[in-house]
Structure 1
Amino acid sequence: MELIHRNLLIGIHDALQETFFEKNKYADKVIERLLKAHRKWGSQDRAVVSEIFYNIIRWKKRLEYYMGEGVKPSNVYKLILTYLLWSKSRYKKFEEFDGIKIGDVLKKLEKNTVPNKAIEHSVPEWLASTLEKELGEKWEQEMAALNQQAPTVLRANTLKTTAKSLVQELKQEDVESFTVQGYPSAVQLEEKKNVFLTSAFKEGLFEVQDASSQRIGELLDVKEGMRVVDACAGAGGKTLHLAALMQNKGQIIALDIYEWKLAELKRRAKRAGAHNIETRMISDNKVIKRLHEKADRLLIDAPCSGLGVLKRNPDSKWKIDQDFIDRIKTEQQQILSDYSKMLKKGGKMIYATCSILPSENSQQVAIFLANTPGFTLLKEEHIMPSEGYDGFYMALIERDSA
């Protein structure tokens, strides 16, 4: 059987064009739209399209080296062909490949060497330099891990089920999965499947949430009846986990600067049966000021470079630059300084990012503690991609009671 037919090839081509050359188009949304538009494709076809699409994005710089030129709107079919040759995939001689000269590509592939580490790991030169500067020799090990496909991990919604029961529920729907040691609510899929079609999802028995991300809710040490503020809630993955840990008792105030993200959070909360969440949009500083010293627990899941989650968002390494990282670090400092005021004396907060750069993580916490008397670092966790799941950082900080 041939690996891909022409319809799939054209779909991959158009999705890559959109991701690389249209502003504010992100790979996960692009592929989601493509698969929705071709509902007749079978599960195997959909899996092949997703794998090739993401692998080409992941290995773009290395493929450009083999091609001998940068990716342009006019040479995306050459990029796909180069990937098929490099990955030793079977393919038909589609008419879209007519006229593409591949002699030089084949010569480079035969040599099986690349000139530098940035090309080897397929990252921009500036990023290879930043990673090496911040992580030292470990950067290559972490980048190799980030170039792997991410596993699909679910969080069993303990308001309705348990991790063990969820495994059984999914099995009845032909989805094979297993519990994850050390992560009480985590369930990992044996292979990628569209779990959003399952009745278990529609009934709110789980959310898709990486195991590393689930550590944040556990570490915050929330208790029933507390007032908890999730200051950068987004669409609410961690908010919903906190609601489950609190057994719907107490109050969670979910804040964000985007109304549409909070609307999505409300929709997800309804499905999950999480009733103790109130959403508030941060329209001005007054929203934060009204909450000064009101939170027993505070979660600051800060905006960051996202370098710890390149397994699932490989296109972001082509969309960010050093200026972006420098800007985000300034924003992180501001958020820590402003939002920490919402914590009661004697309360605890977490500062978290999905970055692996110390300059966004422990260094930011050190700056905050040096500039803000009355706060004490209790614990920090650095979860690196080479450990198997997403790269995350989290610092548990207490506000002194005196």
Structure 2
Amino acid sequence: MRLHRNLCYAVIDGLHSIFNDKNYADKVVQQLLKRDKRWGSRDRGFIADTVYSIVRYKRLYAEIAEVKEPFDRDNLWRLFAVWATLKGIKLPDWKYFQSTPTRKIKGRFDELSKTRKYRESIPDWMDELGLKELSEPVWTKELAAQNQKADVVLRTNTLKITKSDLQKQLESEDIPTHSIDGYKDALVLNEKANVFKTEAFKNGWFEVQDASSQLVAEYLKVQPGMKVVDACAGAGGKTLHIASLMQNKGQIVAMDIYESKLKKLKVRARRNGVHNIELKVIDSTKPIKKLHNKADRLLIDAPCSGLGVLKRNPDSKWKLETKFIEDIKQTQAQILNDYSKMVKPGGIMVYATCSVLPSENQEQISNFLKSDSGKDFKFVKDKKILASESGFDGFYMAQLQKSTNA
């Protein structure tokens, strides 16, 4: 591979924005890819892949390069040189790469790779937490899986098209896909492509949604005509899936504390041809109280650490802090306590996270069932999804049912 100066400059600018200005990697990459309209798909792919790779392995590369944060531009070039050397890319005769110790880099890599926290490039506290909550073999495998590139997975919008017809349409647009067993509406891209420019996307025939995430709405066991509440709807990926499972019949109340996210859901719903969603901003306790004992089904897709989706959001490794995780567990418990009251007698509630930590998952459910708010609920089943086993995001979901006598 031959390195092109303007593409490398874009990578360095992106890393500076992510590491020093603390901007989100996905937003930064989106902006970088718009910098030069002459760039082809290979150029854009190089920028995105290189930025994400260096973000993913920041700690390992920094240890090898012997540089510390905050990274000045010279240090960012040193990180880049480590990445390129380990990829087997010949460094050009640029001033940034003068005196790059190629042999030393490879030796340091071999040495540091013997230690998990360096090899998988995570903070000490995160490694200690994973070991505490999961067994060492499980945590080791999970970290390795979370450092793999995430597949692009689509969910067929069955309100408008069948999966086989969607697959044919995408094939006609030079985007080959394949199905996966156990995920009835999912298609996985054979290779990365900009699916948002396709006619299929403009027609609302699919949404981008990881395979593990697609299992959550199905766990609700919804039926057409029900009243369903998605209490932490965000931009509505699972809300839209629920709507398709309900065949646009019945009512979905999509709630969130952020009005901006619900506005995005409104746009997505219009494109998807979904018209049975009512949007509600949780700006006080009133919206929740008005729905007490009203929901046939309740989805709590709770805010969490996101330790099941590091492959999708590698920069979160460097943004997360122990205090956030302790605080989010309190938030999860409070949400379960308050929002569970919306379930009607005999109704079903699903609690879900994109975390692999038992303290955010099984333990939250166990504590809830022992609480006064959970006394009328019974545990039905749960599902723990590890990236190392599924190949997709790490997820957890638990199904609880409220007593008919409550």
In 2, Cα distance between equivalents of 1:184 and 1:115: 40
Which residue identity does 1:235 align to in structure 2?
A: A
**2:31 pairs with one of 26, 30, 33:** 33
The alignment partner of 2:184 has SS state of: strand
Structure 2 residue runs without a partner (length 5+)? none
Which residue identity does 1:399 align to in structure 2?
A: K
The structure-2 alpha-carbon separation of the partners of 1:77 and 1:314, relative to structure 1 and needing over 3 Å to count, comes to: same
The alignment partner of 2:341 has SS state of: helix
The alignment partner of 1:158 has SS state of: coil
Task: Indicate if the aligned counterparts of 1:232 and 1:254 stay in contact, CA closer than 8 A.
Answer: yes
Task: Indicate if the aligned counterparts of 1:248 and 1:276 stay in contact, CA closer than 8 A.
Answer: yes
Residue 376 of structure 2 corresponds to 374
Please identify, of 92-101 and 52-61, the stretch whose mean Cα deviation from structure 2 is larger.
92-101
In 2, Cα distance between equivalents of 1:115 and 1:189: 34
In 2, Cα distance between equivalents of 1:107 and 1:374: 60
The alignment partner of 1:7 has SS state of: helix
Structure 1 residue runs without a partner (length 5+)? none
Residue 68 of structure 1 corresponds to 66
Deviation at 1:113, TM superposition (A): 4.4
Task: Indicate if the aligned counterparts of 1:4 and 1:45 stay in contact, CA closer than 8 A.
Answer: no
Deviation at 1:33, TM superposition (A): 1.1
The alignment partner of 1:308 has SS state of: coil
Correspondences of 1:72-91 after superposition (within 5 Å) = 72-74=70-72, 75-91=75-91
In 2, Cα distance between equivalents of 1:249 and 1:123: 46
The alignment partner of 1:196 has SS state of: helix
The alignment partner of 2:378 has SS state of: strand
In 2, Cα distance between equivalents of 1:295 and 1:58: 41
Residue 46 of structure 1 corresponds to 44
Deviation at 1:116, TM superposition (A): 2.5
The alignment partner of 1:337 has SS state of: helix
In 1, Cα distance between equivalents of 2:236 and 2:272: 11
Which residue identity does 1:231 align to in structure 2?
A: A
Task: Indicate if the aligned counterparts of 1:153 and 1:188 stay in contact, CA closer than 8 A.
Answer: yes
Residue 398 of structure 2 corresponds to 395
Please identify, of 67-76 and 352-361, the stretch whose mean Cα deviation from structure 2 is larger.
67-76
Task: Indicate if the aligned counterparts of 1:295 and 1:344 stay in contact, CA closer than 8 A.
Answer: yes
Please identify, of 133-142 and 64-73, the stretch whose mean Cα deviation from structure 2 is larger.
64-73
Task: Indicate if the aligned counterparts of 2:85 and 2:102 stay in contact, CA closer than 8 A.
Answer: no
Correspondences of 1:107-256 after superposition (within 5 Å) = 107-109=107-109, 111-114=110-113, 116-137=115-136, 138-256=138-256
2:346 corresponds to 1:346: yes
The alignment partner of 1:183 has SS state of: coil
In 2, Cα distance between equivalents of 1:201 and 1:30: 23
Deviation at 1:18, TM superposition (A): 0.6
The alignment partner of 2:51 has SS state of: helix
Which residue identity does 2:38 align to in structure 1?
A: K
Task: Indicate if the aligned counterparts of 1:183 and 1:214 stay in contact, CA closer than 8 A.
Answer: yes
In 2, Cα distance between equivalents of 1:226 and 1:91: 61
In 1, Cα distance between equivalents of 2:331 and 2:35: 38
In 2, Cα distance between equivalents of 1:237 and 1:4: 38
Deviation at 1:117, TM superposition (A): 1.8
Deviation at 1:72, TM superposition (A): 3.0
In 2, Cα distance between equivalents of 1:90 and 1:154: 37
The alignment partner of 2:300 has SS state of: strand
The structure-2 alpha-carbon separation of the partners of 1:57 and 1:276, relative to structure 1 and needing over 3 Å to count, comes to: same
Deviation at 1:164, TM superposition (A): 1.4
Please identify, of 2-11 and 117-126, the stretch whose mean Cα deviation from structure 2 is larger.
2-11
Which residue identity does 1:130 align to in structure 2?
A: L
Identity across matched positions, percent: 49
1:157-184 deviation line (CA, Å, top 9, x unaligned)? 0000121111111000000101121111
1:173-199 deviation line (CA, Å, top 9, x unaligned)? 000101121111000000111100111
Residue 280 of structure 1 corresponds to 280
Once superposed, what is the RMSD of the aligned Cα atoms?
A: 1.4
Task: Indicate if the aligned counterparts of 2:230 and 2:252 stay in contact, CA closer than 8 A.
Answer: yes
Deviation at 1:105, TM superposition (A): 2.9
Could you tell me the TM-score, scaled by structure 2's length? Answer: 0.96
Which residue identity does 2:259 align to in structure 1?
A: E
Residue 264 of structure 1 corresponds to 264
1:196-226 deviation line (CA, Å, top 9, x unaligned)? 0111001000000000000001110010000
2:321 corresponds to 1:321: yes
In 1, Cα distance between equivalents of 2:300 and 2:212: 16
Residue 4 of structure 1 corresponds to 3
The alignment partner of 2:193 has SS state of: coil
- Count of aligned residue pairs for this structure pair: 399
The alignment partner of 1:378 has SS state of: strand
In 1, Cα distance between equivalents of 2:172 and 2:93: 41
Deviation at 1:90, TM superposition (A): 3.7
Please identify, of 161-170 and 351-360, the stretch whose mean Cα deviation from structure 2 is larger.
161-170
Task: Indicate if the aligned counterparts of 1:224 and 1:247 stay in contact, CA closer than 8 A.
Answer: yes
In 2, Cα distance between equivalents of 1:55 and 1:139: 21
Which residue identity does 1:3 align to in structure 2?
A: R
1:39-81 deviation line (CA, Å, top 9, x unaligned)? 3210011111111111111111111121122243311111111
Task: Indicate if the aligned counterparts of 1:67 and 1:104 stay in contact, CA closer than 8 A.
Answer: no
Could you tell me the TM-score, scaled by structure 1's length? Answer: 0.96
The alignment partner of 1:70 has SS state of: coil
Deviation at 1:87, TM superposition (A): 2.1
In 2, Cα distance between equivalents of 1:269 and 1:296: 22
Deviation at 1:106, TM superposition (A): 4.6
